[in-house]
Amino acid sequence: MKAKMMVVNLMAIREILTTPDTFLRKRSKKVRALTPKIKALIEDMIETLRAAPGVGLAAPQVGADQRVIIAEYAEPSEDPEAEPKPPKLHVLINPEIVRNSSETNLNNEGCLSIPGYMGEVERFDTITLKALNRHGEPIRIKAKDWLARIFQHEIDHLEGILFIDRATEVWKLEEEEIQERSPLSQK
């Protein structure tokens, strides 16, 4: 009798590494092929990000030194009267910033790997990046404001760079602030 093949696609929440784990300081490797292992990593990263909750996650944060980042963020509508846009999930493999604005802005950032801290970080206003999507197809994305900031933060993770390395100021959050902290600030 032929054994029945069962495809099991169980997503799992992975542990998020936190500082001073030295794995966060490694440079991640380029993804060469969309193997089942990479696909599982992506599924798990999505699950982990949503459970955190956060708006962005890079593979090294879950202990995989692979150039994969994800972001899930609802961009504000241009029209303040309009319904807010639904959050959009971005899965980027081997992301690379190919263009950036000369304008930069300072804003506050946090990181799921540095719980309880925030910092003020200067980032480009607008970036264009190229990457592969989760199907391995080449894509180009132009991002501005918060989404551009999230992508810059996550791409830094692939180089072993954390926001505290770039921050002009870092501060510890009070217990109450951690409770109330908006997921917007969690990357």
Interacting residue ranges for Zn ion, rule: CB under 5 A: 111, 187
By beta-carbon proximity to Zn ion, the closer residue of 93 and 111 is 111
169 to each of 41, 127, 130, 163, how far by Cα in Å?
33, 23, 30, 10
Please state, in angstroms and rounded to a whole number, the distance separating the CA atoms of residues 19 and 53. 18
- Give the residue at shortest CB distance from Zn ion: 111
Angle among Cα 183, 186, 187 to the nearest 5 degrees reads 135
User: Across the strands, what pairs with 118?
Assistant: 171
154 is annotated as an active-site residue:
yes
By beta-carbon proximity to Zn ion, the closer residue of 17 and 74 is 17
Please state, in angstroms and rounded to a whole number, the distance separating the CA atoms of residues 112 and 183. 10
By beta-carbon proximity to Zn ion, the closer residue of 15 and 137 is 15
Q: How far is the CB of 166 from Zn ion (least distance, A)?
A: 11
Q: How far is the CB of 61 from Zn ion (least distance, A)?
A: 6
By beta-carbon proximity to Zn ion, the closer residue of 67 and 187 is 187
Which pairs from 15-18 meet CB under 8 Å and 24+ separation? 15/62, 15/63, 16/48, 16/52, 16/57, 16/61, 16/62, 16/112, 16/113, 17/60, 17/61, 17/62, 17/63, 17/113, 18/112, 18/113, 18/114, 18/115
Q: How far is the CB of 113 from Zn ion (least distance, A)?
A: 5
Q: How far is the CB of 167 from Zn ion (least distance, A)?
A: 12
Please state, in angstroms and rounded to a whole number, the distance separating the CA atoms of residues 78 and 135. 30
Catalytic residue among 154, 159, 177, 180: 154
Q: Would you please indicate which residues are annotated as catalytic (active-site) residues?
A: 154
